[in-house]
Amino acid sequence: MSRPEVVVVGAGVIGLSVALAAQARGLKVQVIDREGPAAGASAGNAGAFAFPDILPLASPRIIRQAPKWLLDPLGPLSIRPGYALRIAPWMLRFWRASWPAQVRASIVAQTAMMRRSQETLDPFLERAGLTGMLRREGQLQVYEGAREFRSSLPGWQAREAAGIAFRHLEGDEIAEYQPGLSPRFTHATFTPGWATIDDPKDYTLALAERFRADGGEIEIAQAQALIPGGLRTTAGDRMGLVVLAAGAFSHRLARTAGVRIPLETERGYNTTFPGGGFNLRMHITFGGHGFVISRLRSGLRVGGAVELGGLDLPPNYARAEAMLKKASAFLPGLDISGGRQWMGFRPSLPDTLPAIGPLPGRPDVICAFGHGHLGLTQSTGTADIVADLLTGQEPGIDIAPFSPARFTR
């Protein structure tokens, strides 16, 4: 391959989607990754294109629930012992982002990003030859009792204002959508705009295969530092425009250019198992417990929750086991034997919005990281926006709310 015009750091779903979108605009692209395609969070997520999920994690509701959740080390939200002091500045930013005015602004920005991602998904899949991997089954959010359901209504009102379709269900109506749920779940909401991929790892590997087939190169090397006009790696310097899409490790590279971005790591756990013949019709979200169950080509996957613990502490797989135990109680008859556990790093910024746009002081470096739980969901929208920036075009949405410079002002 001749000298690339664009060097993408990261071979996850964001990096490879950007690489394909840039390639489709006629650019020569090289991808750099320390392990290769689908080695991180892109392999172990729940496989959802969660387009109705416009509500930020930083919100008054989460702030109210956090003290109760933090008392349970295996609950929906936990901070690893010894990490609390390190994450205190991030938590302060998170608290500020939960103020009502900031939440309203985040919903507006997230809604625009979701629309862009939804609009670009089908054309992207068609170009990549991967349309057959997508399933449009919808999603079921379930609630234990009327009180939990009522507390969710302001969020549904915000979605309704954004034009998102949904239907509230009660009692026997729930079984028409998903038989086999425990009767403890008395209310539910169905969102038809939710889609899933057959398997997120297979999908990301297929993106890599398509990128290579179209003349792209993926090099296994460690990105070490941003340098004038390019990137220093363990395989030598690579010159060209740089796209920083290294997920939870992106802030380390940004720091080599003198820019500090408050990127944290939501450590996510899951277990994938054959499922024992349980007929899971769609993605189910157990919001009060912070986890989901989804159907993949490889089986059923139970995972989620948020553990704030950075990149270096060892996994605590008791969290995966706790979610699996709850899933077996919530879906009586579910066979959870034969499972494979996994832990991955979700790159999370305190206001729940990704960093998309030029790195401050480095117009030749475009950021594309910090999507939290929504990397797969927003992958094609992010790729389209970054391709616009790389080719000097105006993005079709206001990207100011996603600017990496918002943390340096």
Tell me if 120 is assigned to some domain: no
Give residue-wise pLDDT tens across range 112-152: 999 999 999 999 999 999 999 999 999 999 999 999 999 99
- Number of separate domains in the chain: 2
270 and 247 within one domain: no
How far is the C-alpha of 188 from the C-alpha of 183, rounded, in Å?
Answer: 12
- Domain termination residue (choose one: 327, 348, 369): 348
Q: State the residue range of the domain holding 310.
A: 56-98+133-194+263-348
* pLDDT value at residue 1: 55
Residue 182 neighbours by CB under 8 Å, 6+ apart: 329, 330, 331, 332
User: Quick check: 57 and 76 in contact, CB under 8 A?
Assistant: no
Q: Are residues 85 and 148 in the same domain?
A: yes
pLDDT of residue 100: 93
Residue 380's pLDDT is: 98
Per-residue pLDDT, 31? 98
Which two structure tokens, joined as six digits, stand for 407? 């943390």
Whether residue 401 is contained in a domain is answered as yes
Residues 76 and 216 in one domain: no
**Same domain assignment for residues 162 and 190:** yes
The 8-class DSSP code of residue 234 comes to T
Find all residues with CB under 8 Å of 271, minimum gap 6, and list them. Answer: 301, 302, 303, 320, 321, 323, 324, 336, 339, 340, 341, 342
- Give the CATH number, domain containing residue 256: 3.50.50.60
Q: Rounded distance, CA 307 to CA 232, Å? A: 32
Q: Do residues 190 and 228 share a domain?
A: no
Report yes or no on 127 lying in a domain.
no
pLDDT for res 74: 79
- Helix H segments across 181-238? 200-213
Q: Which residue has tokens 């625009």?
A: 112
Structure tokens at 43: 């392999």
In a shared domain, residues 208 and 278: no
Regions of the chain where pLDDT drops below 70: 1-2, 71, 409
Query: Would residue 212 count as lying in a domain?
Result: yes
Is 74 found in the same domain as 160?
Answer: yes
- Is residue 184, in this structure, part of any structural domain at all? yes
The verdict on residue 110 lying in a domain is: no
Q: What pLDDT, on the 0 to 100 scale, is given for residue 59?
A: 86
pLDDT tens column, 271-291? 999 987 789 999 999 999 999
Residues 257 and 365 reside in one and the same domain:
yes
393 and 322 in a single domain? The answer is no
> Are residues 257 and 292 located together in one domain of the fold?
no
Enter the pTM of the model: 0.95
Domain-located, residue 222:
yes
Residues 186 and 269 in one domain: yes
Q: What is the CATH number of the domain that holds 165?
A: 3.30.9.10
- The last residue of a domain, from among 305, 329, 348: 348
In a shared domain, residues 215 and 165: no
Does a structural domain hold residue 230? yes
